Structure formats: structure tokens, C-alpha cells
Amino acid sequence: MPHASNDHVATRLLVLAAGLSWAANVQFPISEWATMAFAVDYSAWTQDISVLGITRCGPFLSGDAPAPVPVCSPKHMVLNVSLFILGLQVITGAALSRAAWPDGWMTTVGLCLVAASGVGLLLVGVSPLDVARGPHFIGAAMNFCLGGAGFVILGVACRKAAPRRAAFSLLCGATTLIATWLYSAQIYETLGRGGMERLAAYSMTLWFVGTGLSLLAGECRAATVTAQA
């Protein structure tokens, strides 16, 4: 059955591409911390990630600060481009990984929500906080809320077929949503404003990188079994 075999190979290549795209999300924290290294008087615990993307140096009112604070991020373009690329990676992985998940409407909804979170990242990347505050906030809300919900739904969808991936997805999704709610409600505890936002953001990065590596490992194992058969 050459045709069926070709289809199988094509499907595996798509899943491999999805895994690579999601695993490459590790570029975001690397880019963020590289940008932070050049920022002036910036605190990862008390300031938002978005402050690193502000395009002009000077006083700026952001977050829950009672008055404008000095902001200067000379390498802001690094972060903004990283966020745009991140959005493309998220959307690509969601579009190509369908065959790696169980059939059913829950998987479709979950992947659509994840893809929509990627659209939010595109919006954040092209709308720095000091240039287009409204679109920036909308994009950030789409990313955290839709992405976290997508992880939870995908976790429920694969709870029987892949219980470990399900538990991982539920944990990352719940952490993202809870941290996002606490951040929005200005309940930071000991993490600070910036720390709480990063808890949400890095939970998402952990899911993308972990799931991407899982897809890659699964396809490599499948290729090995096929070669030995």
C-alpha cells in the first residue's frame, strides 16, 4: 500500500515539524533575559515583561505603579521580535500536531485555543506597550487565557490515550490560569508583579517545550520501531 505508506510518512513529518516548532519556544526566555541584561534599573520581580519591549526611554506609567517610573530598554526589539516569532511557533505547532492527539471535538477546541493564543502573541509583538496599549493588553489576555484553557482541554482530551501528557497539560494549564487570575487581581504574594506574570508565562513555555520534545521523542521511537520491523 504505497499510498497509505506515503500518507503515514507525511503525517509523521508534520508531527515532527510541530514538535520542533513548539520545542523552539525556549527562544523566548532566552531572548527575554538577554533583553533584560541591557535594561536600565529593571526588576524581574516587580515589573512586567512588557516593560522590556517599550521602545522609548523615559518616564512611563505601567502596571499598578502610582506614578510614572523611569524605563529604558535599549534592546527592546529583541523581545518584540521574539514574541512575534513565538506566536508563529505556537500557531505552527497547533496546526501541524493534530495527528498526535486523540480524535474528537475536545482536541479540536483545545488546539484552536492554543492557536488563538499564538495570534495574541503576534498582536503583542507588533504592539509594544508604549505604542498601542489597547491591542497589547488584548493580545496578552488572549495568550494567557486562551492558551491556559487550551492546555486544560487538551489534557482532558488525552487523559486515556496519554495519561502522562494529560497530567502535564492539566498542571501547566491550571498554573497558567491561576497565575493569570492572581496577576490580574493584583495578588502577587511573595512573587511580586513581575514574578507572578512570569509564573504564568513560563508555565506556558514549559508546556510548549515539554510537549514539543514529547512529540519529537514519540516520532523518533516510532521511526526506530518501523526501521526494525
Rounded average pLDDT over 171-189: 96
Residue 183 clears pLDDT 60, i.e. is over it: yes
Which neighbouring-strand residues pair with 60? 69
The boundaries of the domain holding residue 83 are 2-228
pLDDT digit string, tens, across residues 147-168: 999 999 999 999 998 899 999 9
Q: How many angstroms separate the CA atoms of 63 and 75, rounded?
A: 21
Which three cell numbers mark 104? 474528537
Q: Which pLDDT value is given to residue 219?
A: 56
Nearest to 62 by CA among 136, 120, 117: 136
Residue 1 clears pLDDT 70, i.e. is over it: no
> Taking all residues of the chain, what is their mean pLDDT, rounded to a whole number?
90
Q: Which pLDDT value is given to residue 85?
A: 98
Predicted confidence band of residue 40 (pLDDT cuts 50, 70, 90): very high
What is the tally of structural domains in the chain? 1
Which three cell numbers mark 157? 482530551
Rounded average pLDDT over 196-205: 97
CB 49 within 8 A of CB 197: yes
Q: How many angstroms separate the CA atoms of 205 and 207, rounded?
A: 5
Neighbours of 182 (CB within 10 A): 17
Q: Which pLDDT value is given to residue 228?
A: 40
Residue 63 clears pLDDT 80, i.e. is over it: no
pLDDT digit string, tens, across residues 78-88: 999 999 999 99
Sign of the alpha-carbon dihedral angle for 76, 21, 197, 138: positive
Residue 221 clears pLDDT 80, i.e. is over it: no
Rounded average pLDDT over 199-216: 96
Q: Which pLDDT value is given to residue 3?
A: 54
Q: According to DSSP H, which parts of the chain are helical?
A: 2-23, 27-38, 76-96, 105-126, 133-141, 147-157, 163-184, 192-228
Residue 28 clears pLDDT 50, i.e. is over it: yes
Judging by DSSP bridges, how do beta strands 58-60 and 69-71 pair with one another?
antiparallel
Q: Look up residue 114 and give its amino acid.
A: V
Q: Which pLDDT value is given to residue 5?
A: 60
